[in-house]
Structure 1
Amino acid sequence: MFMIYILFIAAAIITVITAVKLSTYADVIGERTKLGGMMAGVLLLAGATSLPEVTTSITAIVVNNPDIAVSNVFGSNLFNLFILAAVDLVYRRKRILQAADSSHLSTAVLSIVMTASMAAVMVFPIGFSVLGIGVEMLLLAFLYAGGMIVISRAGSNLTPLSADEPEPQHNAISLRHAKRGFAVAAVIILAAGSALSVTGDLIAQATGISSSFVGAFLIAGATSLPELVTVIVAIQLANHSMALGNILGSNVFNMLILIIIDAVYRGGPVLSIVSPAVLAAAAGVLILNAVVIGAVMMVNRKKPAAVYSLPSMLVILVYFLSSYAIFSFS
C-alpha cells in the first residue's frame, strides 16, 4: 500500500512539472500563430490536459466500471470550475474574469448545452444506437462541431491586449521547438496522468469508497492537476485569456470522452445504466457554469470591486455541496 502512495505522488510531481512546460509551449504557439490566447487555451491546452481523463475513462470501461468512467467526466468538469474560482480568489487583484469576452461566453454556453443534453438522456434514456453508438452521442458530436465553429469565429474577432497589460514574450523558444515540445509534453502528461488515475483508483478501492464518488471526486481531482498548473502558469505569463480558455475548453472537450466511453462499452447505452450520483455531478456542472457566466457578465458591466469575488465564493460553496450530494447518492 505504501508503494501505491509513492507512485501516486511521483506521478503527481511529473504531471505538475510537465504541465508547466505544456502551458509555456501553448503560449508560444498562441503568440506566433493565428490561434491567439483564447483558441490556444480552448484547443491546445484543453485537449492535451484532458488526456488523463480519456485514459482513465477507457480503463474504467475495460474493467467494466462505467460509473467511474462517466462520473470522472462530469467530476472533472466540476473540479475544473472549482479550480477557476479558487485561482480567481487567490489572484483576485488581477481580475482574471475581466479577460473574458464573447468567445469565452460561447464556450461556457456550449458546455451548458452539452451537459444539459446528456443529463436529460440520463433521466429519459433514448435507448437507440447507430453502429454501436447511442443517438445521443451523435447529437453530442454535432453540438461540439457547431459550437467550435461559433467559438472560432468569435475568437477571430478578439481585440488585442491593451497597452497597459504586459504581453508575454518567449524570444528564446522557436515555433518549431514549441510544437515539438508541446507534443512531447502531451505524451508525458498522458502517461503520468494515467499512472495518477490508476494509483488513485487503487487507493480509493482500499478505502471502500463507492465507484461514483471515486470517479467524480478523487480521480477527477487527480486528473485535473494539469488544468490547475496550466491555469496558474498562464496567469503568471499574464495570459488570462488562455487560463479561462483552458478551463472552459477542457470542460467542452471532456464531454467528447462520453462518445468514446459509449463506443467502447458493450453493455448498452452507457448513460442509461449509471448511478444517480452521476446525475448529481452533471447538475453541479450546470449550476457552476451558470454562475461563471453570470460572473463574467457582472464583471463586464463594471460592477463594484467589493462584489467581484462573490461569484467565485459561490462556485466554491456549490462545489462542496455538489460533492456532498454525489457522496449521498453513491
Structure 2
Amino acid sequence: MQEIAFIWASLFACLAVIGVAGVRLSRYGDIIAEKSGLSRGWVGLILLATVTSLPELVTGLSSVTIAQVPDIAVGDIMGSCVFNLLIIVVLDFLYRKESVYTRARQGNVLSAGYGIALIGFAGFNLLLYRAGTFPSLGHVGLYTPVILLLYLLAMRSLYRYEQAQVSEYVEDRAERYPEMRLKQAVQGYAMASVAVVAAGIWLPFIAKDLAVAMAWEQSFVGTLFVAAVTSAPEVVVTVAALRIGAVDLAIGNLFGSNLFNIAIIAIDDLAYLPGPLLADVSLTHAASAFSAMMMSGLAVVGLVLRPASRVFRSISWISLLLLVIYLLNTLFLYLYGN
C-alpha cells in the first residue's frame, strides 16, 4: 500500500513540475518571440506548440530508449492528441460570454486539417505494420520520413498563411513585457526546460510501475494518465490565454501541439532500435488516433459553423460531442487495452 501511495505521489509531483515549468516555458517563449523582432504570429505559434509538447518529446524518447516501453510512448502521443482536443471543451465551458467557436478565427481550420491528415496517417501505419511484415529502412519504418515531410509542409503552409493574414491576438499582446530583456527570457526559458526534461525522463518509469501496481495495461496507462500529465502545459497555457481573452492563441496552441506530437512519433521511431516503433505497440492506440481524427473534424465543424447555442447553458453541442468521444475512447482503452 505504501508503495502504491509513493507511486501516485510521484505521479502528482511530475504533474506539478511539468505544470509549473510548462507555463513558465510558454511565458518566456512568448517574451523571446516579442523581443527577437521576428514574426510574432509564426514564432509565437511554433514556440508555444513546441514548448508545451516538450514533455511528450522527452517522455517518448526515454520510453523507447531507457525504459523500453514503446506502448507508453505511442499511448502518450495519441492520448495527448485526444486530451488536447478535450481542452477545447474546458475552454468552451469557461468562456461564459459566448461559445468559444464564435470567437476563434477560421484560420485555425488549416492547422486542424493538417492535424487530421497526420494523425490519420499515423493510425493507418499502425494498422499496416501490426498486420504483418512491411518494408522498413533498417530499424526505421517507411512512415517516419513521410511524417517528417508532412510536418515540414504543414509548418511551411502555416508560415505562409500567417504572413498573409493579420493575427489579431499578436496585436493584442504587443509590448506586454517591457520590463524584461531578451537575455533574461532566454535564461528563464533554459531553466524551465531543464525542469520539464527532468520530469519527462522520470515519468515513463512511474507509469510503468503504476501499470504493474494497479494491474493496468501499459496502453491504457500511457494513453490516459501519462497523456494527462504531459498535457499539463497545454492545459495551463490555454486556460491562461483564455483568461486574457486570447482565444486564438489558446486554440491555435492545441492544434499546433497535435501537429508536433505526431512528429514526435517519427523522432521516437528513429531512437527505437529494435525495429519500426509502430510494429511493436498495441493496436488499441489506433482507437485513440481515430478518436482524435473525429474530434478534430468536429472542431473544424465548430470553427466553420460557429454554433451560438449552448446545451444546458454550459457548452455547445460540438463540445458535448467532443466530450462523448473522449469518454468512449477512454472506456475502450480501459476495457480492451493490451
TM-score of the two chains, using structure 2 as the length reference: 0.87
Q: CA deviation at 1:272?
A: 2.6
* Deviation per residue, 1:250-269 (Å, 9 max, x gap): 11101111112222223332
Aligned pairs for 1:118-267 (under 5 A) are 118-125=122-129, 127-161=134-168, 169-267=176-274
Corresponding residue of 2:38: 34
In the other structure, the counterpart of 1:107 is 111
1:158-209, Cα deviation, whole Å (9 max, x unpaired) = 32539x9786722222333223322322222222233344334422321010
SS in 2 for 1:93: coil
- Could you tell me whether the CA contact under 8 Å between 1:46 and 1:246 is conserved in 2? yes
User: How big is the shift at 1:76?
Assistant: 0.9
Give yes or no for contact 1:41–1:246 (8 Å, CA) kept in 2. Answer: no
Q: Check conservation: 2:99, 2:309, Cα contact below 8 A.
A: no
CA distance in structure 1 between the aligned counterparts of 2:34 and 2:99, rounded to whole angstroms:
22
Question: Which sits farther off after the overlay, 121-130 or 216-225?
Answer: 121-130
Task: Find the counterpart in structure 2 of residue 292 from structure 1.
Answer: 299
Gaps of 5+ in 1: none
- For 1:35-91, what per-residue CA distance to the aligned partner results, in whole angstroms no more than 9, with x for missing partners? 32x534531122112122122222222333222221111011111111122222122
One-letter identity of the residue aligned with 2:6 = M
**C-alpha separation between the residues in 2 aligned to 1:5 and 1:145?**
38
Equivalent-residue separation in structure 2 for 1:165 and 1:242 (angstroms): 11
Shifted more, 276-285 versus 304-313: the winner is: 304-313
CA contact (8 A) 1:234 1:240 kept: yes
Alpha-carbon contact 2:42-2:162 (below 8 Å) kept: yes
- Do the aligned partners of residues 135 and 322 (structure 1) sit closer, same or farther apart at CA in structure 2, a change above 3 Å counting? same
Residue of structure 1 in register with 2:62 after alignment: 59
Q: Out of 123-132 and 236-245, give the one that drifted further.
A: 123-132
Deviations 1:77-130 (A, max 9, x none): 111111122222122426443453354211111111011112111222372222
Distance in 1 separating the partners of 2:281 and 2:223: 12
Tell me the SS of whatever aligns to 1:124: helix
- Whether 1:84 aligns to 2:78 is no
CA distance in 2, matches of 1:27, 1:106: 22
The 3 A distance-change label for structure 1 pair 165 and 39 is closer
Give RMSD over aligned pairs: 2.5
Q: Which amino acid aligns with 2:82?
A: L
**2:320 corresponds to which residue?**
313
Counterpart-to-counterpart distance in 1, 2:92 and 2:127: 34
- One-letter amino acid of the counterpart of residue 77, structure 1: C
Residue deviations 1:231-278, cap 9 Å, x none? 112222332222112111111101111112222223332213322211
Aligned with 1:276: secondary structure? Answer: coil
Q: 1:276 aligns with which of 275, 283, 307?
A: 283
Supply the AA of the counterpart residue of 2:273.
Answer: R
The one-letter amino acid of 1:87's match is: L
Amino acid at match of 1:100: A
The question of whether the paired residues in 1 share the 8 Å contact of 2:308 and 2:316 is answered with: no
How far 1:131 sits from its partner (Å)? 4.6
Task: Give distance in 2, aligned partners of 1:232 and 1:190.
Answer: 23
Q: Which residue does the alignment assign to 2:27?
A: 24
Q: 1:237 to 1:18 in 2, by over 3 A?
A: farther
| 1:194–1:313 distance in 2 versus 1, CA, 3 Å | farther
C-alpha contact (below 8 Å) 1:42/1:250 kept by paired residues: no
SS at match of 2:97: helix
Task: Report the TM-score, using the length of structure 1 for normalisation.
Answer: 0.89
- Partners of 1:117 and 1:160 lie apart in 2 by 30
Task: Provide the C-alpha distance between the structure 2 equivalents of 1:207 and 1:191, rounded to a whole number of angstroms.
Answer: 25
Task: Give the equivalent residue in structure 1 for 2:7.
Answer: 4
SS at match of 2:118: helix
Runs of 5+ consecutive residues of structure 2 not aligned to the other structure: none
Encode CA deviations 1:308-329: one digit per residue, 9 max, x unaligned: 7221121111100111122232
Distance, in Å, in 2 between the alignment partners of 1:136 and 1:192 is: 29
* Farther-moved stretch of structure 1 (153-162 vs 77-86): 153-162
